[in-house]
Amino acid sequence: MAEPIRITKVPIPRPKPKDSELGFGQIFTDHMFVANFQEEKGWYDPRVEPYAPIPLDPAAAVLHYAQAVFDGLKAFRGVDGKIRLFRPQKHVERLNLSAQRLCIPPLDPELSLASLVTLVGLERDWVPRKVGTSLYIRPTIIASEAFLGVRPAKSYIYFVILSPVGAYYPEGMAPVKIKVEDRYVRASEGGLGGAKTGGNYAASLLASEEAKHGGYTQVLWLDGVHRKYLDEVGTMNFMVKIGNEIITPPLSGTILAGVTRDSSLALMRQWGLTVSERQVSIDEVVGAHRAGTLAEAWGTGTAAVISPVGELTYRGDRMAINGGRVGPVTQRLYDTIVGIQYGQAPDPHGWTVEV
Ligand SMILES: *Cc1c(COP(=O)(O)O)cnc(C)c1O
């Protein structure tokens, strides 16, 4: 039988921030979830305890060799007052897939799902109210063994922290300017691109900083071998509409299997749109722009849900997309997913889990 979750509460909960003052990832709730792993014991002592720093030996493997994975999902307070998680099973499953790639022992999916539901349930007063705001959930596993040899660690810490976050688009969805990155590479085939792990983020920072200094919001990554095929946009999956075909790169190992990507594909197929998971080259995009068939482009990810791309710059050439305005498929995806998350629209796929 599964070990029960031990709960230690703070004596006095802290005051909650105002919805209007929320940013992203700056404020954390009163409690966190923690479980430990040791080779001899497996995962043990699942517990909720007051949010606090985690003691870590300076020789802990994660600090030296980056053996760590995480995931990111959200809880929403619906217009009906109910609190819903969006596709938590899918996120828990992905955390284990990421873990497998980094030789981290998997969690019992029932335990990880229970960790999310229990912690969010306990912190329900921290879920902000305004549509667009949410409670961001960050499950993480780190290698904690104090050992400098290079091999998978023998001890790990799983923890979940929660952060109330503000609306991503307080003034409505705004298309962004993107630089097509043909110098730096985020991930290459056979590498870690398909895992949600900090190393991929470290690898992306320099390109992203240079793009920001150049006046762009983010970069569009190309494949590491040919510098030709589109991969991801920043830390989001990428979709482009050329003529009547909506194209997104296939899950070939270099890109992350986004839950928003999967949800968007399911919706568009349900709507009868032509959707392809196939390689798409930057030359095809440039050609489509010249031919006037580059209709829409957007990123998908938990943080923004949908992020419209208004302009792509490749080797100094600017390509405006849909006159820099939000396209109809982009808008429909955003409205539909957000509607399901806030209980404003029916949830025919059973994507939400009530807390
Ligand atoms: C998390 C992430 C995504 C988006 O995944 P969602 O499940 O939709 O949030 C896309 N790309 C990368 C690199 C990511 O880390």
Domain 176-341 has CATH 3.20.10.10: yes
Q: What is the pLDDT of residue 256?
A: 98
User: Which phi and psi (to 5°) does residue 94 adopt?
Assistant: -70, -35
State the distance from the centre of ligand 1 to the C-alpha of 302, rounded, in angstroms: 7
Angstrom distance (rounded) from CA 41 to CA 26 = 35
State the distance from the centre of ligand 1 to the C-alpha of 119, rounded, in angstroms: 22
235 lines ligand 1 (CB under 6 A): yes
Identify the band that residue 172 occupies on the pLDDT scale cut at 50, 70 and 90: confident
Q: What is the pLDDT of residue 179?
A: 98
Count Cα neighbours of 55 within 13 Å in the Cβ-side half-sphere: 0
Angstrom distance (rounded) from CA 277 to CA 214 = 31
Report the mean per-residue pLDDT for the chain: 97
Q: Is the pLDDT of residue 255 over 80?
A: yes
Q: What is the pLDDT of residue 58?
A: 98
Angstrom distance (rounded) from CA 84 to CA 338 = 12
Determine which residue's CA is closest to atom 14 belonging to ligand 1.
Answer: 235
Percent of the chain with pLDDT over 90: 97
- 195-211 pLDDT, tens digit per residue, is 999 999 999 999 999 99
State the distance from the centre of ligand 1 to the C-alpha of 287, rounded, in angstroms: 28
355: number of Cβ within 10 Å: 22
State the distance from the centre of ligand 1 to the C-alpha of 99, rounded, in angstroms: 15
Determine which residue's CA is closest to atom 5 belonging to ligand 1.
Answer: 258
Angstrom distance (rounded) from CA 49 to CA 53 = 11
Fold agreement (6-166, 176-341)? no
Atom of ligand 1 nearest to the CA of 232: 11
- 18-71 pLDDT, tens digit per residue, is 999 999 999 999 999 999 999 999 999 999 999 999 999 999 999 999 999 999
State the distance from the centre of ligand 1 to the C-alpha of 149, rounded, in angstroms: 31
Determine which residue's CA is closest to atom 13 belonging to ligand 1.
Answer: 235
Q: What is the pLDDT of residue 222?
A: 98
Determine which residue's CA is closest to atom 12 belonging to ligand 1.
Answer: 235
Closest CA to 300 of 276, 320, 329: 329
67 lines ligand 1 (CB under 6 A): no
State the distance from the centre of ligand 1 to the C-alpha of 256, rounded, in angstroms: 6
Task: Identify the burial level of 6 via C-beta atoms within 10 angstroms of its C-beta, where 0-12 means exposed, 13-18 middle and 19 or more buried.
Answer: exposed
- 82-113 pLDDT, tens digit per residue, is 999 999 999 999 999 999 999 999 999 999 99
Domain 6-166 has CATH 3.30.2320.50: no
Least confident of 148-152, 167-171, 182-186, 330-334: 167-171
94 lines ligand 1 (CB under 6 A): no
95 lines ligand 1 (CB under 6 A): no
Three-state SS at 44: strand
Q: What is the pLDDT of residue 171?
A: 81
Atom of ligand 1 nearest to the CA of 193: 13
Q: Is the pLDDT of residue 1 over 70?
A: no
**Global pTM value:** 0.97
Angstrom distance (rounded) from CA 16 to CA 19 = 9
Nearest 10 degrees: Cα torsion 342, 161, 232, 63: 180
Q: Is the pLDDT of residue 340 over 60?
A: yes
Mean pLDDT of 142-161: 98
Identify the band that residue 170 occupies on the pLDDT scale cut at 50, 70 and 90: confident
User: How distant, in Å, are the alpha carbons of 43, 126, 352 from that of 35?
Assistant: 7, 22, 25
Angstrom distance (rounded) from CA 157 to CA 267 = 36
Cα 221 → chain centroid:
17
Atom of ligand 1 nearest to the CA of 186: 13
Q: Hey, where are the domains in the chain? A: 6-166, 176-341
> Is the Cβ–Cβ distance between 295 and 303 less than 8 Å?
no
